[in-house]
Structure formats: structure tokens, C-alpha cells
Chain A
Amino acid sequence: MTFKKPRNLLEGYSKLIGSHSEDSSDDLMVTCPKCKKSLASGDLLGSINVCMYCGHHFRMNARQRLNLICDRDTFAEADGTMVSSNLIGFPEYDGKLENARLDSKEPDAVICGACKINGIAAGIFVMEPYFMMGSMGVVVGEKLTRLFERAAAERLPVVGFTVSGGARMQEGILSLMQMAKVSGAVKRHSDAGLFFVCVLTDPTTGGVTASFAMEADVIAAEPFAHIGFAGARVIEQTMRKKLPEGFQRAEFLLEKGFIDDIVERKKQKKYLAQLLKMHVR
């Protein structure tokens, strides 16, 4: 198995965050896709992966996000050892999984558990962009289902962060079925009178958008996050025309009435804590 090279500087840099790599990350430079300014990765780390010039929100790995949102030392992980296997014998999937584990240093594409947010207990899940772009297979589906079932039993609200390219095609129909399975658990949690807030981050698409991302009581999004059902390229090919400016961005969804608000990363903890407090039962 060969180590896969990072596809771009930013991706390589982000993998280093929190991983105590021997590489000095200070000399890595990243170009902001929005304002085109050159940023030192060390500075970006200090600014929670938000461009200090224009506010562009870079991707963030799941552990970093948990650190940002959970009160110190309150996060307790659940099902942290569950790993995907090649259930339908899909070609090259074993190698992809191995690379994804190396890329992300995580066993799969979602981290689940419980934590406190400004002292309020909640179930929490955070998807991992560096594991096959947060794609949902059987393990992601099972971990999320267990999270919502546990939260319903313990009468806890759930806070979620999505980032996903959708269902994981290497697990075929079994991954599609996870959309229904997780939706069932979300509905039971909801019918028990419990609160679910979801923050959609860049990108949240396909089967995740068409299931739990859009099933929360309150749906927030990070600025400029790409959110949609169909891929932009597929739509362009289907319609044979160029897509309007800002199409499928968080601001577009807010305008069309599909999300409650856009919340900057630095304000998210306070926002979530306030919502949780408003929904304490």
C-alpha cells in the first residue's frame, strides 16, 4: 500500500492539525480560494480555519470541530472502533478505506458521542471530510442510528455537523438503505419530544442532504457552504446551461427557505448553547 499524496496543500496541511506531526507546518502556505491572499497555515490554525482577511471558512477535521464545540474534557466517544469492510466486494474499496484511514487518522467518516456544550449535555456527531469526503456507508449509518437511539433513551438533544459527498457507492444498495435507517432513528428521537440541531458545512450533498441533514428541528449552515441534492456538474449537463452565481450555497438555501440561519464558525458554540438552553425540557 502506497501513501497517497495530498491532492493539494490545504488538504495535506489539515491532516497535520492535531496530529503532532514532526513536520513543521509553519512553512506551509495556503492560498485563500475567495480573496486569493496567501496565508500561513500556522496562522490559519489560530483562526479556526477561517481566512483572517475575508472570513472564508476552510474545511475542518472532525476532532478540531469537537474541540471547538464541546466543553473541555467532556466529550465521550461512542462506537469509536467500528470499521467499514468491503461488504459487496467492490473493486479497490479496501485500498480506498486504508488510504482514508491514513488521510484522516479516523476509523470512518463520522465521530459520535456525548458532550457538554456550555454545561448542557447533548449527543453529538461530527462528520469527517478527510475520510472519503464524509461519505455514508453502513458504519456511518449504524453509528448515527445508535447515537439517536441512545439520545432518545437518555433524553438528550442531538447536535450534528454534516460534511458529505453523499451515500458511499462502494457499499452499493446497503449504503442507500442507511438513509432510511438513520431517518427512522431521527424520527423516533423527534417523536420523543427531543431536539435536534444540525450545522451543514461545506460540502453537504446527495444522500446526506436527502436524509438527516434536512431532518433537524433547526438547520444552520456555515457561510458559503455548498449544500444540495444533485451535483452541480450533473445539473449543468442535464439542463445544458450555466448555473446561476451562488447556486447551492448556504446563502441560496437561506433565500429559498431551506435553512434557519447562517452561523459563522466562531459564533457556533454560543449559538448552539443558546438553542440547547431554549429547548431544555
Chain B
Amino acid sequence: MAAAYEKVALARAKGRATSVDYISNIFENFLEMHGDRRYGDDKSVIAGIGYLIEMPVTVIGIEKGHSVKERGFRNSGSAHPEGYRKALRQMKLAEKFSRPVVCFVDTPGAYCGIGAEERGQGQAIAENLTEMMTLKTPVISIVIGEGGSGGALGLAVADEVWMLENSVYSVISPEGCASILWKDSSRSKEASECLKLTAQDLFKLKVIEKIFPESDKVYAHLKQELYAAFTKSRQLDPQSLTAARYERFRKIGAPE
């Protein structure tokens, strides 16, 4: 078993599959939908509609980009408030047509910048948390690389949360943790261990439902599992669906 920091390095590795790879390999006839209808079109978040086999689904993915140029264009997957609002707009459209929602999470965190604060980064994430909790259609979120704190959670209030074998999901980056704790961001390896941020840790803590092995079969595997899960959850009435989602989070950290 790789140590926690090795997992962090793998989750961030260049060449690792990003949301665009998952979208193109799992869904057919994907149509991208741009913009939040409030301010702009955040390139860090891809949203649209595609077919999961014959089932139309809404797909949202935080995209880091592969090349240096792409990473610049995608702001390395650090979304602005309009990214979260774009995602929410697509989720509400999905709800209207009882269409399942899949979110791919891969972000170092929501962007920390002047414009992001001016346009309400905190408010945008907060609104996604409340709205996703009661969204009357099935939602599954998959952490495919980095699940960076509130910026990841803003797309991960779901019926089930899945993670890739070498992905991580954390309340704070190991560097941020080390610099607060020891005033020394170079001690991030130690911090990685302390934070219990690997997919395996989260599974033990009962924060996620499934871990997917990273092989060349991963897209086929995910396609099959998503299809099976949505086929089942689409049968539920909206009230049971949202009640189960509430209970999923309600029990995390509740005293025995």
C-alpha cells in the first residue's frame, strides 16, 4: 500500500486522466452547455448532457487540463463562483426532466482570488450544498484525482460518492495543513499521513461508498456501475431519494 503522500502525488500526476477523458469515454453524444447566466462561463467546470447507454444524463466535471496551455485555460481546475453556479444551473435543469446527474471532481480547491471573493465564492458553494441536498433527481459524485476541500464538496453532495484508487479527498491540502500546523509547508508528507485523505482512508471512515481500481477497464467499469445505480435510483420517488441523501450525510460524525 502506497503511503499517503504517494497517493497525493499520483492524484496530481501529469498525464492522469481528467474529466474530459471520463466524459468522452463513458458518455455518447455529449452536448456541452456553457455559462451561469449570471456573470460568465467558468472554463474550470465542464457541464452538459450526454447519453449513458440509452439514458440521458447531466454530466458535470471539474477540469484541470493536460498540457500547460490547457491548464492555463482551465485555471488548473480551480473553479470560480460562476463554475459552481453553472453546475447548479445544469443540475436544476436535470431535476426538471428527472435526469440523473454525474459529477466528476478533480480540483486542488475552489479558486482563492480577489474576483472569486467579490463574486461570492463562499455563497456559491453554500448554495450548491443546500440545493444538491434536496435535488429531486439521482446524483453520483466521483473523485477522479484531487478532492480539494469545499471546492470539491460543492459538487459532491450526492446519493453516493465514489473515488478512484489513487485519488484523495481532504479538508485542506497537505501543504496548507503543514504551513498552519508547523509553519512549514515542506512538511506536507507528514501532513498527508495525518489528514487521512486517501480513498482507502475515506472508505474506512464511511465517507465514500466505492473505490474503483485504476486499469484500462476503468471507463467500462464506471459506465456499468453508473448505469446500474441510476437504473435503481430512478425508481425511487423524489422524497425517498432526498431523505436517503440527507441520512447519508446526517450520520457522518454523529455520536454512536
Contact = CB atoms under 8 A, between A and B. Distances in A.
A116 interface: no
Contacts of A207: 149-150, 171
B133 A187 contact: yes
B18 interface: no
Interface residues of A, number: 55
16 contacts: A87-B253, A142-B255, A145-B250, A172-B170, A172-B201, A176-B170, A177-B249, A177-B252, A179-B153, A183-B129, A184-B157, A210-B126, A214-B120, A229-B110, A244-B114, A247-B114
B195 A184 contact: no
B253 A178 contact: yes
Contacts of A215: 126-127, 129-130
A258 B127 CA distance: 12
Given A169-B172, A187-B130, A238-B112, A247 B249 contact: no
Interface of B: 110-114, 116-123, 125-127, 129-131, 133-134, 149-150, 153-154, 156-157, 169-172, 176-177, 180-181, 194-197, 201-202, 205, 207, 245-246, 249-250, 252-255
Nearest to A191: B134
Closest 9 CB pairs of A and B: A138-B253, A209-B122, A230-B112, A183-B129, A229-B122, A214-B126, A229-B121, A210-B125, A176-B171
Contacts of B149: 167, 176, 207
Interface of B is mostly: helix
A141 B252 CA distance: 10
Contacts of B194: 88, 90-91, 172
Contact of A247 (B117, B157, B195): B117
Given A167-B171, A256-B120, A258-B123, A174 B252 contact: yes
A179 B130 CA distance: 10
A213 interface: yes
Nearest to A138: B253
Interface in A229-260: 229-231, 234-235, 238-239, 243-244, 247-248, 256, 258
B122 A174 contact: no
A38 to B, nearest CB: 31
Contacts of A209: 122, 126
A168 B205 CA distance: 16
B133 A180 contact: yes
Given A142-B254, A187-B133, A215-B130, 12 more contacts: A88-B195, A167-B149, A172-B194, A174-B253, A176-B150, A180-B153, A180-B157, A206-B150, A210-B110, A213-B126, A229-B116, A244-B114
Contact of B202 (A173, A179, A187): A173
A184 B249 contact: yes
B150 to A, nearest CB: 4
A258 B253 contact: no
A174 B176 CA distance: 17
A211 interface: yes
Contacts of A179: 129, 150, 153
A169 B121 contact: no
A181 interface: yes
A212 interface: yes
A104 interface: no
